[in-house]
Amino acid sequence: MLVGEDKPGIGGEPLPGQKLKPKYSVFPAGMGSDAPAWVAFDKQVLSFDAYVEEEVPDKNQELYRIRHCKIYFYLEDDTIQVIEPRVKNSGIVQGTIVRRHRIPLPPPNEDEYYTIHHFNINTEVIFYAQRYKITDCDQFTKNFLRKMGVRLNPPASRPDDPYTKERQKILDSMNPLRPYERIDTLKQFLEHDGHVLRFFCVWDDPESMFHDPRELVLHYYLSDDTIDMKEITPANSGRDAVPLFLRRDKLPKYAPTGLYQPGTITARTVLNVFGNLVGNRGRYILDNRKTGAVHQEFYRDSDLKIGEVINVWGRKILLCDCDEFTKDYYRTKYGIEDFTPVAYKTPPPPKPEKTFPLYTGFGSEEDSLCSCKGLLPKPPQKDFKKFLEKDRSGLESNILRFLAKFVMDSPVDKDRKFIICYFLSDDTISVYEYTQRNSGILGGKFLERGRIKKPGQELFKSEPSEYFKAQDLFVGARVCFHGHNFLLVDADEYTINYMEKHANEFSVADTGFILKKLKDIAEPRSREIRQVFAATDPEHTKVIAYEPFRNLIVSITDGAFSEHEIMTIGRYYGVKEEYETDLHLLLAVAQEQLKKNSFENFGQLSAVFVYNDREKCGVLPYQMCRTICKSFKLPLADDLLEAVLTVFEDDNKQVEYKKFLDGLNWRENQIPAFQTIRLPLKSNSIFKLHV
């Protein structure tokens, strides 16, 4: 039969003299938080100030020792830690006296552990036969114990260690036998560690064999005012390359008489108190005033300037230039603004211009030129970066297409139409002839793709030839391809849009440049222009047709404007065709595309939208919705997707993704067949009148 001291008697009643431990807590149920102790009291520690009296046997200077310590009680798991603060030069191993763990009570209650109820001010606790007297605690501990219902005792005084007190009296009564001199350089090191001034200097050695200047680099370290120098050894100079011309150290300034003798400069000076008065015996003491001491000066940052000559152990070094950090340092600290470098080198003779032999006609010009640049011929390098940037990418073809015709009087050839394609990736041109029925001319490829030279150039020359570039092709331009004269009469929409987007490369599509040029020409004739506009617009609609406007520009500029420049102005001020945006029409087109591509993952797409909606407000930014659709590979064209997202936008540019998905779901919300309805234009004119 198992028995124990904490086992109650019959019926659960305690035996006479038996004290039962509470099963859970001393507080009744319902008080406080239900969270476990390791959550409720996480990172909460009680701190007590205590001391322990330790006997010191076999020592005459002290019989006992008072050791002050800190007792930490961790509320989360009732563990205790005792730490003694470290005292400098104490000679005692200090730090953690008792590591953190649960400490049992002294006998005869060693089966129990210390809890919060065993601690109070001006009480004693015994940890492993060591008696600790608690003198005080911090404010947090006092507040916590008061909330626990503990009546706090008044704080007790903390005794001092008699031996430590005696030693402190001895140290206070002692005077130093010599005055020590303390120079604090830690602040300078902390402020300027890693800050180095760099000067480029030259040493004109008159005793050298060839009397040539030697280039040096001077480094001044602001952390400790030291200097080192390194020589820049040119290639094939005949001199050995040494690591340093001057090792890092303080650089002294020399006295007028020359170098100081060894022993002249000392750290301390002494005085003979008695002299030779007492038996020719002297008594020397340390001279605190440093009477008669020789003070040696060293180069500081204030002594280094461009154009100054410094003495480096007998060598005259000229400071010629410095780096940007050094300039900013002197500009900030000393207010110096003049950093004109000192020229110490004769300018190198101009390099002879490299001439190449004339082109022989064999192979391409670039290939022949590469054969002349080295002993090992290499093929000409292509602009691979430009090829990657301007190569076809999705809907971006990077091909400029123009409609052209022959410039000739032949009745057979003047009606022939050509398509000129310019490839931006490699600056090549290809020409195709438009096939016309019953013309008697077979259409198709007219000119193989390749680069085309501009006419009128010498064939055999040393300079590379000029080729047609994209800037040479525009509406109204006349070009000659291998003896065939073409007039560019039109361009497709992609070409015009590309040139307008890259207006900095194409001056004929730069609206600002064209208007500035037009203003200089048309400003003297502003009255005449107003009259023409008024005559063309009798109903005062402030809109005129394109043809009268074009004829007016041609008559004013006298042919100074090309057809493309006039077209650029017309497109800039043109009245756009307006269509009514029908929501059912857009959704019907979108559902038709999704249905053709068999897209049915609307549930997964909705889950992605809900996941990105952190605030659960039902809306997401436009760009985020577009990114989600792209990452989900929604089979919709870019313009159609953007149009549908724009329809479901609110005033804050937020898309209601629930309505957006319901509109695209062709399984549950199918929209019937649609018809394209185009509204009539407001006016037959396409050009706004701006005078």
What is the structure's pLDDT at 277? 63
Contact 407, 486 (CB under 8 A): yes
What phi and psi, each to the nearest 5 degrees, are found at residue 335?
70, 25
For the stretch 533-555, what's the b/e string if a residue is b when 16 or more beta carbons lie within 10 angstroms of its beta carbon? beebbeeeeebbeeebbbebbee
Q: Residue 556: in which H helix or E strand, if any?
A: helix 546-557
Question: Could you say which residues of the chain have pLDDT below 50?
Answer: 1, 579-581, 674-691
Taking Cα atoms as reference points, which of 430, 476, 480, 474 lies closest to residue 453?
480
Three-class DSSP category at 651: coil
Q: Give the torsion through C-alpha atoms of 197, 200, 203, 204, to 10 deg.
A: -150
Taking Cα atoms as reference points, which of 121, 116, 111 lies closest to residue 78?
116
Cis-peptide into 108, omega within 30 deg: yes
DSSP code, position 524: G
What phi and psi, each to the nearest 5 degrees, are found at residue 409?
-95, 0
Question: Domain spanning 384-507: which CATH class is it, in words?
Answer: mainly beta
Counted residue by residue, the chain has a size of 691
Contact 542, 688 (CB under 8 A): yes
Q: From the centroid of its chain, how far is CA 213?
A: 43
- In sequence order, what are the beta bridge partners of 479? 486
For Cα atoms 79, 82, 85, give the angle at the middle one, nearest 5 degrees: 145
What is the structure's pLDDT at 580? 43
Helix axes 657-664, 602-612, angle to 10 degrees: 170
Residue 673 neighbours by CB under 8 Å, 6+ apart: 588
Going across the sheet that includes 428-433, the strands are 444-450, 428-433, 417-423, 399-406, 484-491, 478-481
Q: Do domains 37-168 and 384-507 have the same CATH topology?
A: yes
Residue 188's identity, in one-letter code, is Q
CATH H-level superfamily of 583-664: EF-hand (1.10.238.10)
Q: How many CA atoms lie within 13 A of 509 on its CB side?
A: 19
Give, in order, the Cα–Cα distances in Å from 33 to each of 36, 40, 403, 521: 8, 8, 85, 88
Three-class DSSP category at 107: coil
| 625: region left, alpha or beta (phi > 0 left; psi from -120 to 50 alpha) | alpha
Dist. CA 372–CA 366, nearest whole Å: 10
Domain 193-234+242-258+268-274+283-334: give its CATH code: 2.30.29.170
Contact 432, 418 (CB under 8 A): yes
pTM value? Answer: 0.45
DSSP code, position 638: H
Contact 544, 570 (CB under 8 A): no
Q: How many CA atoms lie within 13 A of 331 on its CB side?
A: 10
Residue 8's identity, in one-letter code, is P
Kindly tell me the number of DSSP H helices and DSSP E strands found in the chain: 17, 24
Question: Domain spanning 37-168: which CATH class is it, in words?
Answer: mainly beta
Residue 126's identity, in one-letter code, is I
Contact 166, 282 (CB under 8 A): no
Contact 473, 482 (CB under 8 A): no
Dist. CA 3–CA 35, nearest whole Å: 34
Domain boundaries along the sequence of the chain = 37-168, 193-234+242-258+268-274+283-334, 384-507, 510-575, 583-664
Q: Residue 227: in which H helix or E strand, if any?
A: strand 226-231
Taking Cα atoms as reference points, which of 267, 266, 269, 264 lies closest to residue 290?
269
Residue 373 neighbours by CB under 8 Å, 6+ apart: none
Rg (alpha carbons) of the chain, rounded to whole number: 48
Give, in order, the Cα–Cα distances in Å from 670 to each of 595, 623, 636, 657, 662: 10, 26, 17, 18, 10
Dist. CA 418–CA 509, nearest whole Å: 23
What is the structure's pLDDT at 669? 84
Q: Residue 563: in which H helix or E strand, if any?
A: helix 563-573
Dist. CA 253–CA 310, nearest whole Å: 9
Residue 141, Cβ neighbours under 10 Å: how many?
21
| 301: region left, alpha or beta (phi > 0 left; psi from -120 to 50 alpha) | alpha
- The two beta strands, 478-481 and 484-491, are antiparallel
Dist. CA 324–CA 331, nearest whole Å: 10
Residue 594's identity, in one-letter code, is L
Q: Evaluate the CA torsion angle 664, 670, 676, 679 in order and state its sign.
A: negative
Residue 685's identity, in one-letter code, is S
